[in-house]
Structure 1
Amino acid sequence: MTWHDALHRLQNAGAPHALATVVGASGSTPREPGAKMVITADEVHDTLGGGTFEFQVIDAALQALLAHDATTRLEAFPLGGRSGQCCGGYVNVLIEVFAGAEMTVAVFGAGHVGQALVKLMAPLPWRVLWHDSRPDAFASGADTQARLECRDSSDSGASVAALPSGTHALIMTHDHAEDRVLMDALLKRGDCASIGLIGSHSKWASFKRRLREAGHTQASLAQVRCPIGVAGAKGKLPYEIALAVTTELLTLKPSAERLDQRGIEPQVLRKVFDADRTPNSRLGER
């Protein structure tokens, strides 16, 4: 798969990845400026020329991905020194890290509210895992939406076990018994970012009693939101409920840190610009 095909697929899926681009080269080098490579935790697409230099680029990208560090970085590779390659040239590589979807939301239920909710979340930079135990429950063409995966939840335990850590889970199936099984499994996992259950206060009171009998503590049950939706929202139409739930999720998403500095460090850029103004200098040498 070429780098642009991989980039398109990963961007649509909201999957973490890094894009490495040769932005400067001097002397004898494996590839010229403009060469690109896409790196994920499990795959590498395309090439910057191979050899130790390419392994070092991959390693730098993987370290950033594993650390969830989305800082853009400019790396310098003297091929005869840092990379130990006989060609002896000098390469600067821009590594752009994409952390993936802003948050992951698991929706259990493809009824009227579930369908309205999934459509409403489609433009947002969220990964949505849509579950239903009924084989024909999903709206036609729903699985073509970016960052949306339709999944069979006939095995509730397996469906919950497959969720990534830190998922925001919403339970809204067609069956209360299925809701309770899902709730039990989600609480046992203990690593959800949030858990919401559609329904009334009386429904949740009944659920809490059964869940306490199953061994769940008050502290564990306190993390569940029921009814779901932002406080003060009115209306019982599916779209109205979906609006309230999406708004509530917006209040739960991680807050973006306000930074005075973003992207490549200013001192690194100054070196690049100073080097560019100096005759016969090496771009970005540090």
Structure 2
Amino acid sequence: MQDIAEQLQGWHASGHSFAVATVVGVSGSAPRDPGAALAVNAAGEAIGSVSGGCVEGAVYELCRESIASGTPVLERFGYSDEDAFAVGLTCGGVLDVFVQPIAPGTDPGLDAGIAHIASGTPVALARVVDGPAGLLGATVAVTAGTHHGSLSPAPGTTAVLERALVAEARAMLDAGRTGKLVLGPDGRPCDADGRGVAVFFVESYVPAPRMIVFGAIDFAAAVVRIGKFLGYHVTVCDARPVFATGRRFPEADEVVVDWPHRYLDSQLERIDGRTVLCVLTHDARFDVPLLERALRLPLGYVGAMGSRRTHRDREAKLREAGLTEAEIARLRSPIGLDLGARTPEETAVSVAAEIVAHRRGGGCLPLSGGDGPIHHDLSRSDGGPGSVPRVHAA
């Protein structure tokens, strides 16, 4: 929902009803991750996507029906060779979609959640996507210090269950996790085979992950552009003020003049396991002090530009600085995949491809060269427990 938060906030502020269809479970080669959303307002305008085109028409109609009836619904879209003309996923995956009607001002949890998402405030939006009829669609918005909305007085719910939901959702927010959560009557999480009171879908909305590009060179401008395209908050840092200017990097969120290692030291509270570092200076004066620190931090990706000879020299200096072989092995250098890239733009594609492959577990091989699964991210296979009312197959 975060991708369409600005438009949703506009609809919400206008006071008109709309419906949001959210992907809450995927398996196989389903095209979108959990959390992807399509929304339709009362006038029939649509924003967002849940499948990249496969089932958009059917989901659009479900949203229109939900607005009219005021009733949420959970639908499953799958694939079957027996009926090639039914609505479903041509890719062969399974997609669970929860459609929820929203009338501004009637649900404190949803109202607060949409406002927090639009403002950039970290929030976990916990919605009941399967359970007792009176509980379906109940929403609690959880932030670091408070929560809005309630499960009560829905049948079968207790204060214990609500307290457990808030605690679990807050823990997922702290970790930046989105996914299904099943709670039992005692408030304890259940596994995939457990019998719970309700199935919740918890969406964690946190600030964009960071990409820090060290070295204000011509290649950096291309890496900044592709970093923004991938959804990163991008910072350029260089110790040379003549090169590190906003005019040279207009698409960067920040341009900082500082020694790389000193800037990294100042950012320890703003970096996490999603943070990407692209070290493009290929100058030992800047690289070694920076990498000595970076390779000891729990960062998502650390890559450094340079020739193979430069990399060998850099490794030797890092060993002299006391880094272990395991720490040095975390360094992706020379940075990027072997695409035969030469221009800054081609090099940026090479770097971005390695970042995505590292994050998603890709094998970096041509898809046409194998017959295995296209998607390697194991976290996507969470179909989750709980019954699903209807199945569409194609």
TM interval, shorter chain, is: 0.5 to 0.7
CA distance in 2, matches of 1:184, 1:150: 23
Corresponding residue for 2:329?
222
C-alpha distance after superposition, 1:137-166 (max 9, x if no partner): 3423532xxxxx666654245146343146
Given that 1:153 and 1:159 are in contact with CA atoms closer than 8 Å, whether structure 2 keeps it comes out as no
Moved more, 194-203 or 167-176: 167-176
The answer to whether residue 153 in structure 2 is matched with residue 60 in structure 1 is no
Number of residue pairs matched by the alignment: 240
CA distance in 2, matches of 1:142, 1:71: 31
C-alpha distance after superposition, 1:31-85 (max 9, x if no partner): x987754324x244644499957644422312444576533347698xxx98xxx
CA distance in 2, matches of 1:25, 1:233: 57
- Does the C-alpha gap of structure 1 residues 4 and 141 become closer, same or farther in structure 2, counting only changes over 3 Å? same
CA distance in 1, matches of 2:163, 2:256: 36
Corresponding residue for 1:38?
141
CA drift of 1:171 comes to 0.8
- Does the C-alpha gap of structure 1 residues 191 and 244 become closer, same or farther in structure 2, counting only changes over 3 Å? same
What TM-score, normalized by structure 2, do the two folds share? 0.48
Corresponding residue for 1:277?
none
CA distance in 1, matches of 2:139, 2:386: 24
1:156-195 map, 5 Å: 156-159=263-266, 161-162=268-269, 163-165=271-273, 167-173=275-281, 176-187=284-295, 189-195=296-302
1:202-281 map, 5 Å: 202-235=309-342, 237-255=343-361, 256-257=377-378, 262=383, 265-267=385-387, 269=388
CA distance in 2, matches of 1:95, 1:258: 14
3-state DSSP of counterpart to 1:233: coil
CA distance in 2, matches of 1:253, 1:151: 26
- Does the C-alpha gap of structure 1 residues 248 and 259 become closer, same or farther in structure 2, counting only changes over 3 Å? closer
Given that 1:172 and 1:197 are in contact with CA atoms closer than 8 Å, whether structure 2 keeps it comes out as yes
Q: Larger % of helix: which? A: 1
CA distance in 2, matches of 1:160, 1:214: 22
Which amino acid letter does the alignment assign opposite residue 237 of structure 2? D
Moved more, 46-55 or 204-213: 46-55
Given that 1:110 and 1:130 are in contact with CA atoms closer than 8 Å, whether structure 2 keeps it comes out as no
Given that 1:6 and 1:45 are in contact with CA atoms closer than 8 Å, whether structure 2 keeps it comes out as no
- Does the C-alpha gap of structure 1 residues 33 and 225 become closer, same or farther in structure 2, counting only changes over 3 Å? closer
1:147-162 map, 5 Å: 153-154=258-259, 155-159=262-266, 161-162=268-269
Superposition RMSD in Å: 4.2
- Does the C-alpha gap of structure 1 residues 75 and 153 become closer, same or farther in structure 2, counting only changes over 3 Å? farther
Give ranges in structure 1 of 5+ residues lacking alignment: 27-31, 83-90, 144-148, 274-286
Which amino acid letter does the alignment assign opposite residue 249 of structure 1? I
What TM-score, normalized by structure 1, do the two folds share? 0.63
CA distance in 1, matches of 2:272, 2:304: 19
Corresponding residue for 1:5?
115
CA distance in 2, matches of 1:231, 1:101: 31
CA drift of 1:184 comes to 1.4
Given that 2:224 and 2:234 are in contact with CA atoms closer than 8 Å, whether structure 1 keeps it comes out as no
CA drift of 1:132 comes to 0.6
Corresponding residue for 1:140?
250
CA distance in 1, matches of 2:221, 2:302: 19
Given that 2:223 and 2:348 are in contact with CA atoms closer than 8 Å, whether structure 1 keeps it comes out as yes
CA distance in 2, matches of 1:49, 1:152: 50
CA distance in 1, matches of 2:140, 2:148: 5
CA distance in 2, matches of 1:165, 1:260: 21
CA drift of 1:240 comes to 1.4
Identical pairs, percent: 24
